[in-house]
Every structure is written in C-alpha cells, then in structure tokens.
Amino acid sequence: MPSKRIVIIGAGPTGLGAAYRLKELGYENWVIYEKEDYIGGLSSSFKDEKGFTWDIGGHVMFSNNEYFNNLIDHLIGTDFISHGRESWIRMNGRWIPYPFQNNIRYLPKDLTRQCLEGLISAQNDKRQISNFEDWIYKTFGEGIAKLFMIPYNMKVWKIPLSQMSYNWIAERISIVRIERIMKNITEELDDIDWGPNNRFKFPLHGGTGGFFNKFSPFVSGRIDYKKRLINIDIDSKLVIFSDGKSDRYDVLINTSPLDLFIRMVKSKKIDTAYLMEKAYHLKHSGVYVVGIGLKKKTEGTKCWVYFPEESIPFYRMTYFSRYSPNNVPDGAINTYSSLMCEISFTEDKPTSENEFVSLTVNGLVNAGILSEADRENIVSKWLKKVDYAYPIPTLGRDNSLREIQLFLEDNQIYSRGRFGAWKYEIGNMDHSVMMGVEVVNKILCSEKENVWR
Ligand SMILES: Cc1cc2nc3c(=O)[nH]c(=O)nc-3n(C[C@H](O)[C@H](O)[C@H](O)COP(=O)(O)OP(=O)(O)OC[C@H]3O[C@@H](n4cnc5c(N)ncnc54)[C@H](O)[C@@H]3O)c2cc1C
C-alpha cells in the first residue's frame, strides 16, 4: 500500500510541531504550505529598521509538557534566558502586584473595603452561573468585579462578558479563598506566585520567533511559501491555492483559522451549508501591537503590566527589552530599551488605525510609564495589525466546534492549533506544538490526543 499523503496548512507552532514529529518518525510522504514567506505564525518575531526586535504581543514560554520541554532543550539548548515573572496592574495611579484579587491591600483603603465587602457577600450569592460575567460576580463579588475583572476583560475580549462561557478558566485566572485574601491584608503579604507562567523562558536571540526558526531544518525541502489556501475540494481531496495551483491529500492537517477554513470547504455531494451557520458562533478578536523603541535605559525589574482603565488604550504593556538584551539594537541595553503594547479590537468594533501610535505614546505618559521628556527619546515606532489574535470562548462555541470537527474528521481533515481548534484554553505555544505532534501520532500510530480532546 502506498503511504498516505499528509498535507499541512500553516507553518506556525502547530504546523511545525506536526512537521517535526513526521520527520522524527521518518515519515516521507508529507508537505507543508504557508501563506507567508516565513515560519512561526503568531509566534514569529520581526526586526524593525532601527534594529529593535518585536514579538506579536508579549510571548513567554512555559510548559509542564515533557515532550515540549525536551524539544526546547533540543532546539535552543542554553540559548535562552530564564525569568521570574514580575507582573503588575496599573490603575488609580497605583501599582498593584498581579494577581489583582490576591493583592487588594495595595488599593486605597475605601476600595480595599469595597472589594472585601463584595467577597463576603459573594459567599452567599446563590445565582446559577451561566456565563463569564456571572462567574466573575459569584467568585469575586461586586468590588473586584467592577474595579478590575469586568473592565479588564472587556478591554481584552471586546464583547459583553455575558456572551462568554466560563469553562475555559482553569489555568487562566487565580481563584483565591477569602481567608487567604484577609491574611494578605492583615499580615501585609505580597501574594504574587500564582500561575503556570511564574517562571518563563525567552530566547536570547531573535525574539520568540528565534525559537521557532530552529524548526527550519525540519521543514526544509518540504515547505512551500507564499501559498495561500483558498479552497478545499473534499470530493476529490484537493487543496487549491490563490496562485491557481493545487495538491492532493489523503489526510489534511489545518492550522489556519477554522471559520475561514469552513468557508473554503466545497463539495458537490455533501451539503455543507449548515457548517457556515455553525462557524458563525466562532468569534475572535484582533490586536494591534505597538512597539516603542527608546534611546534610554529602563531601570527596574518589571516584566509586564495590565491596564484595566478605559482611559489607557492598551490592555497590556511588556518591558520587552528586559526579556533579552538582543531585543534592542546591538544588544546595547544600557543605551536602549523597548516597550510593547497590545490593543484589542473586533470586526464589529474596529478601532481606527491612524492614531494608534500617538494614542499609545500618550497612554504611556498618562499611565506614568514614560515621562513627558521621554517623548524625545523615542527612536522607533512599530505597528502590527493582527486580525486573528484571541479565539473567544463564546457560549455557542463548543456545540459548533463539536459538529464542525466531526464533519471534518469524517473527511480526513484534522483542524488543530490556536485558531484551527479555536480553543483559547489550549491556545498557547506549547499546546499548539503538542497539538501538531499529537495529531500526527493519531494519524500514523492511532494514539490518543491529550491536549486536544
Ligand atoms: C497577543 C498574543 C500573545 C500571546 N502570548 C503567548 C504567551 O505568552 N505564551 C504562549 O505560549 N503563547 C502565547 N500566544 C499564543 C501563540 O502565539 C500561539 O499559541 C501560536 O502561535 C499558535 O500557533 P498555530 O500554529 O496554532 O497558529 P498560528 O501561529 O496562527 O499559525 C498559523 C499559520 O497558518 C498560516 N496560514 C493562515 N491561513 C493560511 C492559508 N489560508 N493558507 C496557508 N497558510 C495559512 C499563517 O500564516 C500562520 O503561519 C499569544 C498569542 C497572541 C496573539
């Protein structure tokens, strides 16, 4: 029997994970198509003309997956820096250590009291939780909800939180017991260690993309760049590209956004119209990433900062030069520094692109991150629009995904990755690489997938 031809769409972390595993297994009959002329997808990095390196938003590498951690060791060895996370919330003109809910003692006294009263009332809140907003109120009470959780999450997701589910939260939000919060207040404790990313790695060279560039040898000779998939003929098992070329597959691994992919599926035998209706429930947000390069050393040890207040345009800012000296020109960390800001948008509520950079600079000054005088020290401004940044866990998502994935699998198509699987809770780099690895194990070795179920 001739071997199955495996075609992979997209050379982001998921596609690269799949390619790496195919190579590791010694499998020969596969190819990968990528619409850009580089690998890495959302985890790639860019050097601007002034010599600053930028990621597509603040990326940090952390994982408890053994295969992924071994892969990092194997591909970058010691070419990384290990950091202890130091993240903060900036609001009310104050610095509050992250997670907010653990450190409310840093608020003005009347607000700390509001948060505590809310937490106490929430103990007796008998409401049935049916969405993310309910979950926030029931878990944290009115004070924490209104001061931080609701405004911050609205800024990130850009849709009413009552339209979001709450079953994705596990490793994403710190849930603390009221006793611990009281202890933090009365004993004046900083409670900052929560979360799987409290230590993280960052490549010494080339930004986050520096790690994914190490996959190049594993796709060499098998990757076709500048190939944008536009149609899938599931009757003849053909993928068709924007340059008019096509290729045949036995098994297709898709890592491109699932809503767009579904619109490309064509069949004369099967009615696929209902899939479009299902795909309607898949909502996403986009992000503008604004990089500000400074001719100025930045002091301190902070990694990133969250901004819940509406008056500041970005929801998060990363002290990016702190991750690696090579993120600034010539590694001259005593002369240069860089800040990277993220601003969310949705297609329903697009934000005008024109004034983004100046809004960001003003936001940095208003938030006290830069001084007025620092405007003179700005030597580089970098802007990237990312149309697909966050797959939103909406209420209708899981039912839609179930039907779409069943249909695809019946047609030997496996859709995996941040936007291929459309699951934020498994949307990190380690999850993505492992979804690629595990789907190959499933296709070739009939093994069960763990990350994607
Ligand atoms: C703002 C932000 C911050 C993040 N921070 C972190 C973090 O701190 N830690 C972490 O672990 N993860 C983080 N991530 C997640 C990380 O970026 C993703 O997990 C990872 O890049 C997803 O990999 P993927 O291969 O599934 O998808 P992608 O990276 O989106 O790659 C998909 C690939 O498919 C290609 N493609 C798309 N459409 C087509 C088409 N029609 N034809 C051909 N090719 C196509 C794209 O060009 C791309 O190369 C963050 C993401 C964002 C947006």
Give domain status of residue 175, yes or no.
Answer: yes
Report whether 111 contacts 146 (CB < 8 A).
no
Q: Using CA positions, which residue lies closest to atom 15 of ligand 1?
A: 428
Task: Report residue 267 as tokens.
Answer: 């069949």
Confidence of residue 181 (pLDDT cuts 50, 70, 90): confident
Average pLDDT score over the chain: 94
Q: Which of 351, 370, 392 is the last residue of a domain?
A: 392
User: Is the CB of residue 255 below 6 angstroms from any atom belonging to ligand 1?
Assistant: yes
251: domain CATH number is 3.50.50.60
The CA R_g of the chain, rounded to the nearest whole Å, is 23
Task: Verify whether ligand 1 is closer than 6 Å to residue 342 (CB atom).
Answer: yes
Cα distance between residue 147 and residue 89, in whole Å: 12
- Within a domain: residue 191? no
If asked whether residues 39 and 93 sit together in one domain, one would say: no
| CATH number where 349 lies | 3.90.660.10
Work out how many domains the chain is built from and give that number: 3
* Residue-number span of the structural domain to which 97 is assigned: 88-186
- Pocket probe mutation, ligand 1, options 418, 423, 437, max atoms within 8 Å of Cβ: 418
Whether pTM exceeds 0.75: yes
Residue finishing a domain among 152, 186, 220: 186
Q: Are residues 388 and 287 part of one domain?
A: yes
Let me know if residue 194 belongs to a domain.
no
Tokens 């040890």 identify what position?
301
Question: Ligand 1: which of 198, 255, 345 to mutate, judged by most atoms within 8 Å of the beta carbon?
Answer: 255
The alpha carbon of 391 and the centre of ligand 1 are apart by a number of angstroms equal to 11
Which of residues 154, 186, 218 is at a domain's end? 186
The alpha carbon of 226 and the centre of ligand 1 are apart by a number of angstroms equal to 17
Q: Determine if ligand 1 sits within 6 Å of the CB of residue 318.
A: no
> Which of 57-61, 87-91, 137-141, 176-180 is predicted with the least confidence, judged by mean pLDDT?
176-180
Beta-carbon neighbour count of residue 141 at 10 Å? Answer: 24
- What's the token pair of residue 200? 């993280």
CA of 422 to the centre of ligand 1 (A): 11
* 293 and 386 together in one domain: yes
Same domain, 415 and 375: no
Say if 58 falls within a structural domain.
no
CA of 109 to the centre of ligand 1 (A): 42
Instruction: Flag the least confident range among 105-109, 171-175, 379-383.
Output: 171-175
**CA-proximal residue: ligand 1, atom 6 (nearest):** 59
The least confident of 104-108, 239-243, 252-256 is 104-108
**pLDDT tens digits, residue range 329-367?**
999 999 999 999 999 998 766 566 768 899 999 999 999
Using alpha carbons, list the distances in angstroms from residue 11 to 44, 47, 231, 333, 389: 10, 19, 18, 32, 16
Is position 198 within any domain? no
- Residue 16 falls within a domain, yes or no? yes
